[in-house]
Amino acid sequence: MGDVERWHELGQQLRVDSIRAAAVTNSGHPTSSMSAADLMAVLMTKYLHYDFDAPENPNNDHLIFSKGHASPLVYSMYKAAGAISEEELLTFRQFGSRLEGHPVPVLPWVDVATGSLGQGLPISVGVALAGKKLDRLPFRVWCLNGDSEMAEGSMWEAFDHAAFYELDNLVAVLDINRLGQRGPTMHEWDLNSYANRARAFGWKAIEIDGHDYGEIDRAYAEAIETHGQPTAIVARTIKGKGVKEVENKEGWHGKALDHPDEAIEELGGIRNEVIQVPKPEGDGEPHVFETGDLELPRYDEGDEVATRKAYGDALAALGSANGKVVAVDGEVSNSTFAEIFKEAHPDRYFEMYIAEQQMAAAAVGMQVRGWHPFASTFACFLSRAYDFVRMAAISRARFSLCGSHAGVSIGEDGPSQMALEDLAELRAVHSSTVLYPSDGNQTAKLVAQMAELDGISYIRTTRAATPVIYGPDEEFPVGGARVIRSSADDDVTIVGAGITLHEALKAADALAEDGVSARVIDLYSVKPVDAETLQAAAEATGGRIVTVEDHWPEGGLGEAVLSAFADADERPQVLKLAVGGMPGSGKPAELLAAASIDAEHIAEAVRRLVSAAAVT
Amino acid sequence: MGDVERWHELGQQLRVDSIRAAAVTNSGHPTSSMSAADLMAVLMTKYLHYDFDAPENPNNDHLIFSKGHASPLVYSMYKAAGAISEEELLTFRQFGSRLEGHPVPVLPWVDVATGSLGQGLPISVGVALAGKKLDRLPFRVWCLNGDSEMAEGSMWEAFDHAAFYELDNLVAVLDINRLGQRGPTMHEWDLNSYANRARAFGWKAIEIDGHDYGEIDRAYAEAIETHGQPTAIVARTIKGKGVKEVENKEGWHGKALDHPDEAIEELGGIRNEVIQVPKPEGDGEPHVFETGDLELPRYDEGDEVATRKAYGDALAALGSANGKVVAVDGEVSNSTFAEIFKEAHPDRYFEMYIAEQQMAAAAVGMQVRGWHPFASTFACFLSRAYDFVRMAAISRARFSLCGSHAGVSIGEDGPSQMALEDLAELRAVHSSTVLYPSDGNQTAKLVAQMAELDGISYIRTTRAATPVIYGPDEEFPVGGARVIRSSADDDVTIVGAGITLHEALKAADALAEDGVSARVIDLYSVKPVDAETLQAAAEATGGRIVTVEDHWPEGGLGEAVLSAFADADERPQVLKLAVGGMPGSGKPAELLAAASIDAEHIAEAVRRLVSAAAVT
């Protein structure tokens, strides 16, 4: 049997299996799978180098379906590779099956979750960057993209960065099947429009008929011979190819076929061929960066240091001790202080320019290869990458985020640069950790722990220099809280973190002069939250708590505290201070006062709470 | 004085004023202003048609600074136009000043807040779309863009849509000054790279020296003569142009000059010329769409209808009664049911393809012109546009969002398509309204109210058809909650919304058989929340509440309820049921059960709470 015949047989098998899989629960995307079946048939028999028995082999290529809804095709390929059984294929989309509606890394051969379009390619850029600059291994990254998702700006962030970093180990296959979910795509079969854009962004682009095996074969051959730039294979395909009832017809996106048996017959019936996917050619080991002991920065009590500066110092120190730590930043490294890491470890720093989606995606891609990225920008701009963070949780990804310039306390720049929703945003991410230090030494200790945490960990840093209040040898376990001031006869507990902790301490001083004794808690770990310490404080201070946060009232520190008591037997009265009105520009102190979260307003709130209690 | 000399004088004045403004608080971005001063000098004297005395004139052009950090230039232009005084200019960035660090529409001549890069151009696309297709007036939209922000994918979403919609009323001026915040941009002065991309995306592109007045003049002249496509003027400029100490030097982003007086002298000293900005040429009135009476859809109790379907029905009906209502959707209108509006009002529907950032930006741009857009996609994909929604709040924008396919109840598609963070996300937006209906008639009543709300209103809809439980004439005021079942001797209150309200009702039935009487509250308005109804219920049911939501535990319905009681005198015990673990695929009922938010688990939780209370 010649190559073309073999490819045809495999292409038909992949189509048949896609239809069979979708028939199981009468849901899924068979027609989106059928358009790309020939492209994948040629790829997996000749160009993809992958050991399905050893998915952890560092020399494996990576195949990422940016069009994650073509999951029937993914699973059909796994069956054709002998990685899953026919029986398992037919569990598609059933409760408890590994074969979910969109691919997730519950399967050992899936690198990342896709299904939110426009993410697979930017993540592939991250994997390819890791391959070239970190692992320094010759594996390739193959990414299958839909045409609808080319409308996502994140795709063009990926095109921009892949060319800039000369990622010739990256091949993007564009499955131009003309039809989106509800009708034709913007550019339909105008292959040129895609190819011209790719070229304008610095890529090699090859236009082909995605059902002509010879053209597909030559395109891959050309792609792997291309040096210094990534390649886009722009393939004209037919959605639903092979089954007349659905071929190139609207109204068949995300639907199982009405007559699967007839369709399977039209495609030549069920086949169960298992093909040999080429094994990885190399046997190299990933590059290892030299490291020494961990020597975190040490700040003297009484000095002033911004937690963002401490973040940079600590990250650089961590990088010296842990060769897996890398950093990416969204063109603000002189503000986030990621630049300190960059100077110390230039080989492990990657500039992502002002492309926060690509920044997050690069982090996700690098952690696929076992690196631990720290991605930083202004905390408010992490909102640009929220969908990527959401999806990263589904990818069971393990990396860290740093958001600087939190809250109104940044001052003159005004609200566009103030993160006032980031705690809500990052708390509402599955399995996330949310940290908010108030002091340089504490920041250093938290940064060091972040590299050891599973899931997505987030640290919120402050623009302004604040007093160092902790010694460099104190410990701040994630999930803890620090009672920073207390006495046996405290009247109230004030809970703050970051900038507001310092205001809380000043408030406590002022209150002490009035004879009001305030316990002060530093809630540096907003998620997980230390319910035990909070409950003990509430009990000891008459069930009175004032929370204060440089954040909107919703979803942040105040609600984290409330949730800690939600169904507890005793629930304290919690007076939540947060930013209520829209801030403008001004000096940090003016803005903290205007938001009623400075020392004076905290003290006032405490007095109200305590005197109301005295009356009742 | 000839044109060139006048432009030179004005350019220098704008530079001097930018430097003076930044000197006030020793902060701001004078060098980023100086690079674009000549471009803006020519624009405002000859091409921009704008009546500063009548900013509401519908025939005014629109000038949007996508590079919002060049605010000193914006304000210097306002001074040169006679709109603000020298005295006011020198309040820049001071507390209480209208001249904030980045422009905000507190000023009548500012359309939208900018400062998060990559947003001004997509918003300009929205304004230009409104001009061409809704207002049908010949005004132009001029958008000044920085080179750093060309790295944002959202810019390419804008390029894509502007060409697709043939927006020849849009001119993008690209200020290619080579330097970003922390160093050179990716493409520095490679003008060709920008121009080629613009052309590949279907734009006319003109490359010029941005300090050559003749070239600038000719480029604008060519732009306004261009038909059928938007124009990008790609201008090579020098950051800090005119002051040797800072010209084309790194390290001067976002900093006031060290020696402002010398710099002003170098630029020829202070000038206070006021120039005549051309007035709008047209005197047309915005197009008015014909309307009739509001006839909301009516569903029969006992029937089943998905709230997403009711959203589409209601939006179409609303469109028939309110000519200001328009709809945009992210290529999923057959799932969100925005397609019903599209069919009824094709002239007021705009397909945004899979470009959620552009979709949100289009909504922001259209509301600038007084239209009321409803933007819809799967609720999880609104996370893609979160930064745009955050900024829209700073823009004091007024529009509506609809997110369909909320929660695990969508079933087989799996977690990538499930919104489990959207309530947290949208609650943490300044002045937002968050609605979550459970019934078709309720949905219709809420959609009708959304068009009357200020700020950003959000409605979360459900994929599955659910029973109609309310009559078509019942009222559901925003900010209210509905006690749907109650008796004098209720033991507990269950609070649900959307899909979980139906589970709560089933749970209440089951509990009634066991002799446990449960009050059930439909919390269809998650923000603002009806604290009074919740407090009355808590009081009447022994201080016991079970909340149940198809959402992560953080920031959603449960925490909204907790916040309603935070500092109340009596705080109930609140047992929060929410999605704890990462869901997979399965049938809706299987996934609701696995997440412990179906009727059975609600009933179990209630029994636990009630029996614990009985023991104590």
Q: Cβ of A95 and B591 within 8 Å?
A: yes
pLDDT of residue A534 exceeding 70: yes
In this structure, what are the phi and psi dihedrals at residue B140, rounded to the nearest 5 degrees? Answer: -110, 155
Query: Would you list the DSSP string of A21-57?
Result: HHHHTT-S-HHHHHTTHHHHHHIIIII----TT-TT-
pLDDT of A1: 79
Asked whether the beta carbons of A220 and A206 are under 8 A apart, the reply is no
| Structure-block tokens of residue B458 | 């959000």
The reply to whether A185 touches chain B by the CB within 8 Å rule is yes
**In the predicted model, what is the mean pLDDT of residues A491-515?**
98
The reply to whether B588 touches chain A by the CB within 8 Å rule is no
pLDDT bucket at A616, cuts 50 / 70 / 90: low
Three-state helix/strand/coil letters over B298-344: CCCCCCEEEHHHHHHHHHHHHHHHCCCEEEEECCCHHHHCHHHHHHH
pLDDT of B616: 56
- Closest by CA to A483, choosing from A526, A437, A536, is A536
pLDDT digits (tens, 9 = 90+) for A434-486: 999 999 999 999 999 999 999 999 999 999 999 999 999 999 999 999 999 99
- Closest by CA to A174, choosing from A224, A219, A125, is A219
Q: Cβ of B201 and A199 within 8 Å?
A: no
With CA atoms as reference, the chain B residue closest to A432 would be: B554
- On chain A, the residues whose CB falls within 8 A of the CB of B355 are 151-153
Q: Cβ of A428 and B157 within 8 Å?
A: no
With CA atoms as reference, the chain B residue closest to A608 would be: B567
Residue B428 burial by Cβ neighbours in a 10 Å radius (0-12, 13-18, 19+) = buried
In this structure, what are the phi and psi dihedrals at residue B581, rounded to the nearest 5 degrees? Answer: -95, 170
Residues of A labelled catalytic: 356
Query: Which residues neighbour A312 within 8 Å (Cβ) at sequence distance 6 or greater?
Result: A336, A337, A338, A339, A340, A341
| Residue showing tokens 């590994």 | A98
Task: Classify the phi-psi angles of A404: left when phi > 0, otherwise alpha if psi is within -120 to 50, otherwise beta.
Answer: beta
pLDDT of residue A615 exceeding 90: no
**Euclidean distance between CA atoms B508 and A314, whole angstroms:** 54
pLDDT digits (tens, 9 = 90+) for B468-496: 999 999 999 999 999 999 999 999 999 99
With CA atoms as reference, the chain B residue closest to A545 would be: B567
A positions 216-255 inside 8 Å of B (CB): none
> How many interchain CB pairs under 8 A, A with B?
348
Query: How far does the CA of residue A139 sit from the closest CA of chain B (Å)?
Result: 26
Peptide bond into A528 cis (omega under 30): yes
With CA atoms as reference, the chain B residue closest to A351 would be: B186
Sign of the CA dihedral B81, B82, B85, B91?
Answer: negative
In this structure, what are the phi and psi dihedrals at residue A503, rounded to the nearest 5 degrees? Answer: -70, -40
**In the predicted model, what is the mean pLDDT of residues A182-192?**
97
Asked whether the beta carbons of A254 and A28 are under 8 A apart, the reply is yes
Query: Which residues neighbour A460 within 8 Å (Cβ) at sequence distance 6 or greater?
Result: A379, A403, A406, A419, A422, A423, A434, A435, A436, A498
**Euclidean distance between CA atoms B453 and A609, whole angstroms:** 34
> How high is the ipTM of this complex?
0.98
With CA atoms as reference, the chain A residue closest to B590 would be: A95
**In the predicted model, what is the mean pLDDT of residues A304-322?**
98
**Euclidean distance between CA atoms B283 and B287, whole angstroms:** 12
Number of Cβ within 10 Å of residue B616's Cβ equals: 5
A186-217: burial string, b at 16+ Cβ within 10 Å, e else: bbebebebbbbbbbbbbbbbbbbbbbebebbb
**Euclidean distance between CA atoms B548 and B401, whole angstroms:** 23
pLDDT of B613: 79
pLDDT digits (tens, 9 = 90+) for A364-413: 999 999 999 999 999 999 999 999 999 999 999 999 999 999 999 999 99
- Closest by CA to A365, choosing from A68, A109, A62, is A62
In this structure, what are the phi and psi dihedrals at residue A417, rounded to the nearest 5 degrees? Answer: -100, 0
Element housing A575 (H / E): strand A573-577
How many angstroms from the chain centroid is the CA of residue B367?
10
The reply to whether A417 touches chain B by the CB within 8 Å rule is yes
Coil vs helix vs strand at A496: strand
| Structure-block tokens of residue A270 | 């069920």
The reply to whether A599 touches chain B by the CB within 8 Å rule is no
pLDDT less than 50: residues of chain B? none
**Euclidean distance between CA atoms B334 and B548, whole angstroms:** 29
- On chain B, the residues whose CB falls within 8 A of the CB of A105 are none
B positions 397-416 inside 8 Å of A (CB): 411-416
The radius of gyration computed from the CA coordinates of chain A, to the nearest angstrom, equals: 27
Which of B151, B358, B585 lies at the smallest CB-CB distance from A157? B151
- Closest by CA to B30, choosing from B41, B17, B39, is B17
In this structure, what are the phi and psi dihedrals at residue A104, rounded to the nearest 5 degrees? Answer: -135, 155
**B356 part of the active site:** yes
- On chain B, the residues whose CB falls within 8 A of the CB of A120 are none
Q: Cβ of B148 and A201 within 8 Å?
A: no
In this structure, what are the phi and psi dihedrals at residue A204, rounded to the nearest 5 degrees? Answer: -75, 140
Return the amino acid letter for B456.
I
**Euclidean distance between CA atoms A445 and A529, whole angstroms:** 17
DSSP annotation of B406 reads B
B positions 144-173 inside 8 Å of A (CB): 148-149, 151-157, 160, 164
Catalytic residue among B356, B421, B425, B549: B356
> Which residues in A303-438 belong to E strands, given as ranges?
304-306, 325-329, 349-351, 372-378, 399-404, 433-435
Three-state helix/strand/coil letters over B476-523: CCCCCCEEEECCCCCCEEEEECCHHHHHHHHHHHHHHHCCCCEEEEEC
The reply to whether B335 touches chain A by the CB within 8 Å rule is yes
Query: How far does the CA of residue B204 sit from the closest CA of chain A (Å)?
Result: 14
